[in-house]
Amino acid sequence: MDTSRLTRVGECEWSLEPTGAMRVPGRIFGDDRLVEDMGDEVLQQVANVASLPGIVRASMAMPDAHWGYGFPIGGVAAFDPAQGGVVSAGGVGFDISCGVRAMRTGLTADDLPGRLPALADALFREIPAGVGRRGALRLSRPRMDDLLAGGARWAVDAGYGEAADLDRIEHGGRVEGADPAAVSDEAKRRQEEEIGTLGSGNHYLEIQVVEDVTDEALAAAFGFRRGDALLSIHCGSRGLGHQVATDYMKSMLRAAARHGIALPDRQLACAPVESDEGRAYLGAMRAAANCALANRQVLGHLARRVLARLAPRAEPALIYDVSHNFCSEETHEVDGAPRRLFVHRKGATASRPPGHARLPASLRDAGQPVLIGGSMGTPSFVLAGAPGSAKAFFSALHGAGRSMSRHDATRRWQGRDVVRDLERRGILLRGGSMRGVAEEAPGAYKDVERVVSAAVAAGLARRVARLAPRACVKG
C-alpha cells in the first residue's frame, strides 16, 4: 500500500482523509510494515465502505486486514439507522458468525506426551470434518427453527454441554431478534445434517498449550494458567449461513437500487436498516448466528466427550466463544451522545473493556476475552478487551490474516513437506488433503505475533497469553 496517502495519527494508527464519495475518513490500524503489506486494494475497500449511507466516524481496518470482497477482511464499520444507515450482507460475509471457541481441557502440557496421539486420533474420528461430512443430528424443520431461535441455549437444552457454558458465550449463547421465518427453505435444507460438523478450509480444531502468560490475573479470571492444555475450535454457521448470505446478497442488490444507494462494488450490496429488506436480513443473519453458536456448542460437547473417555479425571471448562463475522446492534457514545448503531465486524471480533454492560458478571472486571486464532502450526493468542478499543466501536482483530493466496501457497509448498515440518516441531496433524494442507501452510499467513503487537500498541486489546499448537484436526 502507498502509505503516502495516509496520515499517521498514532504509533499503529493511520487516517485516510475522505475523497470522492467517502462520507467519513478511513482508519487503519497496524505498524509500518503491516500497513505497507496490506495492498492498495484494502485501501480501496476501506474507501468504498466509507461511501455507504449512514456510516459513523470512520471505515476501519484492523491490523490483520487483507483484501476481501466488498469489505476488507478485518473491516469494521458502524451505521446509524437514524441517519439512513445500512446493513450489508457483504459486510458480514458468507460464513455468518464464524468464530473461535477456546476451552480448558483440564490437562496440562505434562499430560500430553503419552496421550496426544490417541487424543488427536479420537477427535479426528468423532468430529466430522471436511467437505460433505454429515453430523449425527438430523433436524426436522420445526426443530431447526427452535435451533435458529435458541442458539447454544437450544443445544444445552438438547443435551449438548452445560448451562454454565452459556455465561462464556457471546450474547449469552443466544442472539436476540432472530427470525427463523426469514431464513429460506434452501438454507434450512443445507443444514439438515450439518450441525456438529467442522467444515473445511481454514476451519480447525486444535489442542494447544499455554506457553506464555503476560497477565496472570486476567488468565486466572478467564480460567487458565501457564502450562494448561486448551482445545480451540474455529468454525461457523456452515451451509445455512452461506445460503443466507447468498440469498440476501441478491435481495440487497435490488434493495440498494430501489433505495437509490450507489454501490461502488456490487459485493457491498446493502439495504437501509429501517427497510423491509434490512429487517429481514437482520432476522435471518441473527438466526444464522444462532446456528453457528449451536454448532460450536455441539462440537464442544463432542470434544468434551472424547476428553471424558481418554482423560476421565480432567475437568474441562469453556473459556470463551467469540464470533468474528457479525453485524451487532449496539449503543456507542459518538460526540458525547449515545447512539444506536449497527456495527459490522467482518473478520474482526468485539473487544469489550472491563465494566462493559454486555459482559457477564464473571468477566465484568476482566473484560471480554478476545481469541486470536493462529493458523495450523503458528501460535494463537488470548487477549482482553481494552478501553482504547472504544475508538473502533470496541473491536479488535480476529487472526493472522492471509498474506498469500491459496493458489500461490500450493505453488510454493508441498503438503507433505508442511506435515513433516510440523511433526519436527512436535505438532500432530490429522485429516486434510495434502493440497488443503499446502493451501493452509503457516507461511501463507501474516506474522500473527506482529499483528497482535500492533493491536496492543493501538490500544485495541490487552495481551494475556500465547498458545502453542500441539495437535491440529482439519477438514
CA distance 77 to 420: 41
Q: Which of 301, 356, 398, 407 is catalytic?
A: 398
Our CB check for other proteins shows the closer of 248 and 393 to be 248
The single residue among 267, 297, 380, 395 that binds other proteins, judged by CB under 8 A, is 267
- Shortest distance (Å) from residue 271 CB to other proteins: 16
Q: Is-contact 45 90, C-beta < 8 A?
A: no
For other proteins, give the closer residue by CB, 95 or 277. 95
Q: Measured between alpha carbons, how far is residue 186 from residues 118, 197, 291, 414 in Å?
A: 39, 18, 15, 37
For residue 396, give the nearest of 384, 409, 412 by alpha carbon: 384
Question: Using the rule CB under 8 A, which residue among 201, 387, 426, 443 binds other proteins?
Answer: 201
Does 434 contact other proteins by CB under 8 A? Answer: yes
Distance of CA 199 to the CA centre of its chain: 15
Q: Is 385 in the site for other proteins (CB under 8 A)?
A: no
Residue 301 binds other proteins, judged by CB under 8 A: no
Torsion over CA: 335, 61, 370, 205 (sign)? positive
Half-sphere exposure of 211 (CA within 13 A, CB side): 12
Q: Is 249 in the site for other proteins (CB under 8 A)?
A: yes
Taking CA 245 as the corner, what is the angle to CA 327 and CA 442, rounded to the nearest 5 degrees? 80
Considering CB under 8 A, how many residues would be counted as binding other proteins?
A: 51
E strands within 119-222? Answer: 204-213
Of the pair 222, 445, the CB lying nearest other proteins is at: 445
The nearer residue to other proteins, 94 or 160, going by C-beta atoms, is 94
User: What 3-state DSSP class applies to 9?
Assistant: strand
Alpha carbon distance 54, 273 (integer Å): 10
**Stretch binding other proteins (CB under 8 A), from 89-97, 115-123, 286-294, 327-335:** 89-97
Asked if 36 is part of the footprint of other proteins (rule: CB under 8 A), the reply reads no
**Catalytic residue check, 398:** yes
246 binds other proteins (CB under 8 A): yes
Q: Which residues bind other proteins (CB under 8 A)?
A: 39, 41, 66-70, 73, 93-95, 130-134, 186, 189-190, 192-193, 199-202, 239, 242-243, 245-246, 249-250, 253, 265-267, 269, 402-408, 432-436, 439, 475
